Amino acid sequence: MIHRGTSDEELLEAVRGGDLRAFDALYLRYERRLFGYIRRMVEDRTLAEDLVQDVVLTVLRDRSFDPSRGRFAAWLFTVARNRCLQHERRAAVREQAVPEAGAAAPNPEALVDRHHQVRTAMAGLTDAQQQLLLLKQVGELTYREIADIHGVAEGTIKSRLHAATKAFRRRLAEIGGG
């Protein structure tokens, strides 16, 4: 029987043993946060849904997770980040192979939209700052989980996140959104 208090590691082990209820519990525990995290990395909703499924399948097949080396959530979001980066690399190769005929003009209404302002502010940050903010705000990971992903001390993550948040707020104010 799957209880609310069952650890991620216990659920994963049960899933690998063929327990479909454990899969449902694990999926429901992370699907929303995982989708939100991936969605902000790739921008396209359908692609984000596909990548979530790809990450879930990877987690089911991949036996490399070792609970003694870190938390499941940190590993899960690392897998998600790697899948998104892999997709971006492949997309960049395709774009270089087939140049676009012309870019569509931006919608003037979208320029004043808060969503666009946030994206613009995020784009002004370094890749590392973007990843930290996404993991914390969208992925809802703890400082410890983010530290595990990056292989650094928790205090280092707190410091980097503080700097990233400060830079984000400054960029948002510069573009008139804050």
118 shares its domain with 154: yes
| 99 pLDDT above the threshold of 60 | no
Which of 57, 77, 103 marks a domain boundary?
Answer: 103
| 81 or 105, greater pLDDT | 81
121 shares its domain with 89: no
5 shares its domain with 72: yes
88 shares its domain with 2: yes
31 shares its domain with 96: yes
Q: Quote the pTM value.
A: 0.58
- Domain span holding position 54: 1-103
9 shares its domain with 84: yes
32 shares its domain with 81: yes
| pLDDT tens sequence across 12-69 | 888 878 888 888 898 899 999 999 999 988 878 999 999 998 898 888 777 777 777 7
CATH number at residue 46: 1.10.1740.10
- Count: domains in the chain: 2
| 89 or 27, greater pLDDT | 27
116 shares its domain with 88: no
| pLDDT tens sequence across 110-143 | 434 566 677 788 888 898 898 888 888 878 888 8
51 shares its domain with 86: yes
10 shares its domain with 58: yes
113 shares its domain with 172: yes
Which of 103, 119, 141 marks a domain boundary?
Answer: 103
CATH number at residue 108: 1.10.10.10
Which of 59, 81, 103 marks a domain boundary?
Answer: 103
| 150 pLDDT above the threshold of 90 | no
**What per-residue confidence (pLDDT) applies to 178?**
62
149 shares its domain with 85: no
d(CA 164, CA 152): 16
Burial of 18 (0-12, 13-18, 19+ CB in 10 A): exposed
Taking the CA atoms of 45, 178, 156 and 140 in sequence, report the sign of the dihedral they define.
negative
Alpha helices in the chain (DSSP H): 8-16, 20-42, 45-61, 72-97, 108-112, 114-123, 127-133, 143-150, 154-174
